[in-house]
Amino acid sequence: MSTKKLTHRARKRFSQNFLTDFSILEKIAKAIAPDSIDKIIEIGPGKGALTELILNSDVELHAIEIDRDLSAYLREHFASQDNFHLHEDDVLKVDFNALLSATQPARIVGNLPYNISTPLIFHLLNYLPGIKDMLFMLQLEVVERMAAKPGSKSYGRLSVMVQYHCKVEKLFNVPPSAFSPAPKVESAIVKLTPLKRDPDSLVSSEELTNLLRQAFAQRRKTLRNNLRNIISAEELESISINPGLRPENLSLDDYVRICKHLHPLH
């Protein structure tokens, strides 16, 4: 392993904040609990601090890094590690089908850049058959939205989509002081474990996404207004949904019921 020092200034365009608190890094590694039989995909390894702790478990690790300078450093730093594989790419453009397999589901981890965290989560939901679990550091607000319950201000499209596909567990908070440079927001670690859903509760992910986009288009308006172009108030009442409710007052099961009504299986 190379001992070359890295001098790298965090780049705003990549939303880079490097985790430097070793006690937090160890806590994350313990939460991941890598096993030698695991295949782990790390998104945004940065300077490789967490990467190094994971590699100590002899796992097969694939790291995805967009920054050329960091990629060059990681390639040299871990040159002697046969279990380290670097992919220099934009994670939003990565075809995860090439990295994932339903016969050996991978574990995905990473300190996700705040500027792409939500679109990246939606992107990864398309690849769940090949994913065992996901453990991410995200902006606390995003984690709270993922785990939010109906009726709360944080509850929205992200909450419903993630909870439809995964069990959401907020593990612990990470203060700004644990990073360099320190971000202006609090962070948190979240674990997402794909759910095996009952066939009767299955709906098309694309159809559910479209429904939620319409429902939450204007949060202050009622379902009667937001959904009027796709379902009538009478139809909503026929499936025991009150059209006078606002979108954040409906449960995940309510949205699944509307989706199944709009798109019955043939």
Does 214 lie in the same domain as 181?
no
Same domain for 192 and 101: yes
Q: Do residues 119 and 98 both lie within one domain?
A: yes
- In this structure, what DSSP letter does residue 158 have? H
In a shared domain, residues 156 and 225: no
Q: Which domain holds residue 233?
A: 200-262
Report the distance separating Cα 54 and Cα 57, nearest Å.
6
pLDDT at 66: 92
Q: Confirm whether residue 144 is marked as ligand binding.
A: no
Question: CB atoms < 10 A from the CB of 67, how many?
Answer: 19
Sequential pLDDT tens for the chain (266 residues)? 544 454 445 444 445 588 999 999 999 999 999 999 999 999 999 999 999 999 999 999 999 999 999 999 999 999 999 999 999 999 999 989 999 998 999 999 999 888 899 999 999 999 999 999 999 999 999 999 999 999 999 999 999 999 999 999 999 999 999 998 888 899 999 999 999 887 777 899 999 999 999 999 999 999 999 999 999 999 999 999 999 999 999 999 999 999 999 998 74
Rounded to whole angstroms, how far apart are CA atoms 4 and 75? 12
Among the candidates 154, 171, 196, a domain finishes at 196
Are 89 and 164 within one domain?
Answer: yes
> CATH number of the domain that 89 lies in?
3.40.50.150
Residue 242 neighbours by CB distance under 10 Å: 14
Domain final position from 164, 196, 228: 196
Inter-CA distances, 21 with 17, 18, 177, Å: 12, 9, 8
Q: Does residue 96 sit within a domain?
A: yes
Asked, for residue 2, whether it belongs to a domain, the answer is no
DSSP classification of residue 10: P
Domain assignment present for residue 156? The answer is yes
Alpha-carbon torsion, ordered 181, 62, 196, 169, to 10 deg: -20
Chain centre to alpha carbon of residue 14: 17
Say whether both 208 and 187 belong to one domain: no
Q: How far apart are CA 51 and CA 109, in angstroms?
A: 10
Instruction: Indicate whether 63 belongs to any domain.
Output: yes
Residue 247 DSSP class = G
**CATH number where 206 lies:** 1.10.8.100
133 in a labelled binding site? no
CA 226 to chain centroid, in Å, comes to 27
Q: Which of 75, 24, 28 is nearest to 47 (CA)?
A: 75
φ/ψ (deg, to 5) at 110:
160, 155
Query: What confidence score (pLDDT) does residue 202 get?
Result: 86
Claim to verify: residue 130 and residue 252 sit in the same structural domain: no
**Any known ligand binding at 56?**
no
- 212: nearest Cα among 226, 194, 222: 226
Phi, psi dihedrals of residue 203, rounded to the nearest 5°: -135, 165
Last residue of a domain, one of 196, 218, 246: 196
Helix (H, G, I), strand (E, B) or coil at 193: strand
Together in a domain, 222 and 191: no
**Looking at the domain assignment, is residue 140 inside a domain?**
yes
Tell me, yes or no, whether 246 and 163 share the same domain. Answer: no
Q: Coil, strand, or helix at residue 146?
A: helix
- Residue 130, marked binder: no
Report the distance separating Cα 170 and Cα 53, nearest Å.
22
Is 111 annotated in some ligand binding site? yes
Total domains, the chain: 2
Specify the length of the chain in residues.
Answer: 266
Predicted confidence at residue 180, as pLDDT, reads: 84
5: in domain:
no
Q: How far is CA 166 from CA 76, 123, 124, 206, in A?
A: 36, 14, 11, 16
Is residue 6 in a domain? no
Q: Helix or strand or coil: residue 244?
A: coil
The answer to whether residues 61 and 160 belong to one domain is yes
Q: How far apart are CA 132 and CA 60, in angstroms?
A: 14
Q: Does any domain span residue 3?
A: no
Q: Residue 180 in contact with residue 10, Cβ under 8 Å?
A: yes
pLDDT reported for residue 16: 59
109 and 188 co-located in one domain:
yes
Same domain, 167 and 219: no
